[in-house]
Each structure stands twice: as structure tokens, then as C-alpha cells.
């Protein structure tokens, strides 16, 4: 039997399916609880500089001073989230980032948006496995209120995702999508 010597978080970031009996699976829960401690502090401050400071600790990257976050923000891990410059994240968003989330410059994220970079198989026998797939939101995109972006989706540059949409496929640049599941509405 060949032992996997890669760290579980590296394996997640690389898109490897994590089985429920993985010997390192417990590390995901431990990391989530450590992130939650920082989130409680971040979500209870009103100072933009403090929010950015906590978010920098959570993501283990420098959050630019042009980024604004209206808390609460909920993140399950944080270290696989990358946020560009001049990004605005509105109230009550959820980021599940074990599979990776990249938010490029000038992105608007409206209230109650969910970015879900991880999922589970539909078969009942395999459902406790974790399937990570990165989400990429490109420059100047706008994600409308209550939208959900599912694992593996790329939102193209300048694209708009309408409020309440559930996006399960890539969105082309300079387009508007909406609905459940999200479909092309028009070009911008």
C-alpha cells in the first residue's frame, strides 16, 4: 500500500477527493475550529482595518486596504481564499474554500452570496467523501444577492450573476446569467 505523503490541505487544493476514512480528515475539522475563533473576533468588530487584519490572518495573505467587507462573513478554512484589490464583500456571505476560491480585483459580492468550492458525491455509499473544485471569480465580476456559486465554476471577467442564481457551469466574460440553474440572459 502506497502512503500519500502530501498534506491533506495540499491534496484538497489539488482537487483530490478526500474519503471519510482518510487518516488526516480530522485536520480539516481542527482547522475549521481555529478559523472560527478568528471569525468570531472579525465578525464582532466594526473597524474596517481590524476586519482586514483578521481576514489577513484567516487567509494567511495580505488583504489590501482597498478591500471592504461588511461582516458577518463565514469561512470554513480561509487559507485557500485569495482576494484581490478593490473587492467589496457585503453582509452574510459564506465561503467554503477547501477546494480554493480566487476573487480577482474589482469584484462586487452582494449580501448572502455562497461560494462553495466543495461538495459530495450523490451516491449514498460515497456521500461522506469530500470533492473539492476551485472557484475563480475574474476581474470586475458582480455576484448578485443570494447567488450560489458551486464547485469548479469560473465567473468570467465583467460578468454579472443575477440575484438568487445557482451557478453550476462556467460563466462567459461580459455576460449576464440568472435562474436556477443559471442560464445565459444576455451579453453586456
Is residue 55 domain-resident? yes
1 domain residue, yes or no: no
What is the average per-residue pLDDT within 64-93? Answer: 98
Q: Determine the pLDDT at residue 149.
A: 98
Quickly state the pLDDT bin for 6 (edges 50, 70, 90). confident
CATH number, domain with residue 57? 2.160.10.10
Residue 53 domain-assigned? Answer: yes
Question: Mind listing the pLDDT tens digit for each residue in 121-140?
Answer: 999 999 999 999 999 999 99
Range of the domain at 56: 8-187
What was the pLDDT predicted at 1?
A: 40
Q: How many domains is the chain built from?
A: 1
SS3 track for the chain = CCCCCCCHHHHHHCCCCECCCCCCCHHHHHHHHHHHHHHHHHCCCCCHHHHHHHHHHHHCCCCCCCCEECCCEEECCCCCEEECCCCEECCCEEEECCCCEEECCCCEECCCCEEECEECCCCCCCCCCEEECCEEECCCCEECCCCEECCCCEECCCCEECCCCEECCCECCCEEEECCCCEEEEEC
**Mean pLDDT, range 142-159, rounded to an integer:** 98
Confidence band for 98, pLDDT divided at 50, 70 and 90: very high
Q: What is the pLDDT of residue 2?
A: 45
Residue 117 forms part of a structural domain: yes
Question: Is 134 contained in some domain?
Answer: yes
Asked whether residue 2 is domain-assigned, the answer is no
At residue 5, the pLDDT reads 61
Model confidence band, residue 4 (pLDDT cutoffs 50, 70, 90): low
Residue 78 lies in a domain: yes
pLDDT tens, position by position, 42-55? 999 999 999 999 99
Q: What is the mean pLDDT of residues 95-108?
A: 98
pTM of this structure: 0.95
What pLDDT score was predicted for residue 16? 95
As annotated, the active-site residues are 120
- Would 3 be classed as within a structural domain? no
The chain-wide mean pLDDT, for the chain, equals: 96
What is the pLDDT at residue 37? 97
Amino acid at each position: 500500500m502506497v502512503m500519500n505523503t502530501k498534506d491533506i490541505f495540499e491534496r484538497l487544493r489539488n482537487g483530490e477527493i478526500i474519503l471519510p476514512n482518510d487518516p488526516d480528515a480530522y485536520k480539516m475539522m481542527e482547522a475549521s475550529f481555529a478559523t472560527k475563533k478568528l471569525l468570531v473576533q472579525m465578525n464582532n468588530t466594526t473597524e474596517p482595518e481590524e476586519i482586514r487584519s483578521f481576514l489577513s490572518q484567516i487567509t494567511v495573505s495580505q488583504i489590501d486596504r482597498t478591500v471592504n467587507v461588511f461582516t458577518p462573513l463565514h469561512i470554513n478554512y480561509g487559507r485557500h481564499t485569495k482576494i484581490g484589490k478593490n473587492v467589496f464583500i457585503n453582509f452574510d456571505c459564506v465561503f467554503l474554500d477547501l477546494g480554493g476560491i480566487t476573487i480577482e480585483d474589482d469584484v462586487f459580492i452582494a449580501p448572502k452570496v455562497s461560494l462553495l468550492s466543495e461538495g459530495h458525491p450523490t451516491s449514498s455509499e460515497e456521500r461522506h467523501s469530500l470533492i473539492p473544485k476551485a472557484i475563480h471569480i475574474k476581474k470586475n465580476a458582480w455576484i448578485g444577492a443570494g447567488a450560489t456559486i458551486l464547485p469548479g465554476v469560473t465567473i468570467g471577467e465583467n460578468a454579472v450573476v443575477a440575484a438568487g442564481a445557482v451557478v453550476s457551469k462556467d460563466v462567459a466574460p461580459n455576460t449576464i446569467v440568472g435562474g436556477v440553474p443559471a442560464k445565459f440572459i444576455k451579453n453586456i
